[in-house]
Amino acid sequence: MLHDRGGPMSGLAVRDLHDLTDLRDVAAMFNRIWRPPAGVDAVGLEWLRALSHAGNYVAGAYAGGRIVGASVGFLSAPAGLALHSHLTGADKGHGIGFALKLHQREWALARGLDRITWTFDPLVRRNAHFNVAKLGASPEEYLPSFYGAMTDAINGDDDSDRVLTTWRLAEPGVVAAAGRQPYRREIPWDAAVGLGEADGRPVPGRTDAATVLVAVPQDIEGLRRADPAAARSWRLAMREVLGGLLAGGGRVTGFHRRSFYVVERDGPT
């Protein structure tokens, strides 16, 4: 989960973490954000210690001596080229999430890596906008119920569908995004709405155009609490439409009006 709604926080510092005291800060922060069941940690202290000691990525963002964000990742396939960013959480606002990702990018480049991958819930609109529009990352594979059942406060009883996303660190769009110049593109006049929204519910449409727009609900986390059936309908619709487009070779190339994935296909069929 990433929250990024403003400019950089004054005095914000991001650094690698190794000491147990700092790693306890990370574990506590993740628990505050994800609110797992009592007696369960979002990420255990022993895992953080092992990952850090083995040379993987564990970093924290601090302001005024207090932890305000953290990120954990591990080296992954292809060997020597990739870092998988497993979990990132930050306080709302102040550009903390963006600062963490920039630090992660520099960490990876310093080690000769050329990409960072991660998964995120395609129904969480703010994360989709952050990952695609602000970072220039590319969702590439739809993974139904990837983590199985999850019981934390954010995921609730919903299926844990995710999209595997790749951040190619030297691509021009990513370099521009790192300089706070996110890529903007015009939507063609003949773009089709593959998934729309009406009265808070998903409305399937056409997916046979060269450019397809896929809507994301405004607040899926609130919807899971208020109307689980509606949240479930969004999950199934996103799985069918976005999952089907990606499986068929479609490429997510933007996030339109903070509301729609922009998916490009080879052409209409």
Per-position pLDDT tens, the chain of length 269: 343 334 456 689 999 999 999 999 999 999 999 999 899 999 999 999 999 999 999 999 999 999 999 999 999 999 999 999 999 999 988 899 999 999 999 999 999 999 999 999 999 999 999 999 999 999 999 999 999 866 655 655 678 999 999 999 999 999 999 999 876 778 999 999 999 999 999 999 999 999 999 999 999 999 999 999 999 999 999 999 999 999 999 999 999 999 999 999 985 44
| Owner of token pair 């993974």 | 143
What is the distance of C-alpha 157 from the center of its chain? Answer: 20
Per DSSP bridges, beta strands 162-168 and 57-63 are: unpaired
Distance (Å, rounded) from C-alpha 80 to C-alpha 57? 14
Q: What is the pLDDT of residue 207?
A: 98
Distance, CA of 210 to CA of 191 (rounded, Å): 7
What phi and psi, each to the nearest 5 degrees, are found at residue 148?
A: 70, -155
* Residue 244 three-state SS: helix
pLDDT at 154: 61
Cα distance between residue 49 and residue 252, in whole Å: 36
Domains within the chain, CATH numbers bracketed: 13-178 (3.40.630.30), 192-264 (no CATH)
What pLDDT does residue 181 have? Answer: 86
78 upstream amide cis, omega within 30 of 0 = yes
Q: How many other CB atoms sit within 10 Å of the CB of residue 3?
A: 19
Residue 266 has what pLDDT? 82
Beta-carbon contacts of 250 under 8 Å, excluding residues fewer than 6 positions away, are 212, 263, 264, 265
What is the reported pTM?
0.91
The reported pLDDT for the residue numbered 6 is: 40
> What sign does the dihedral 22-28-34-37 (CA atoms) show?
positive
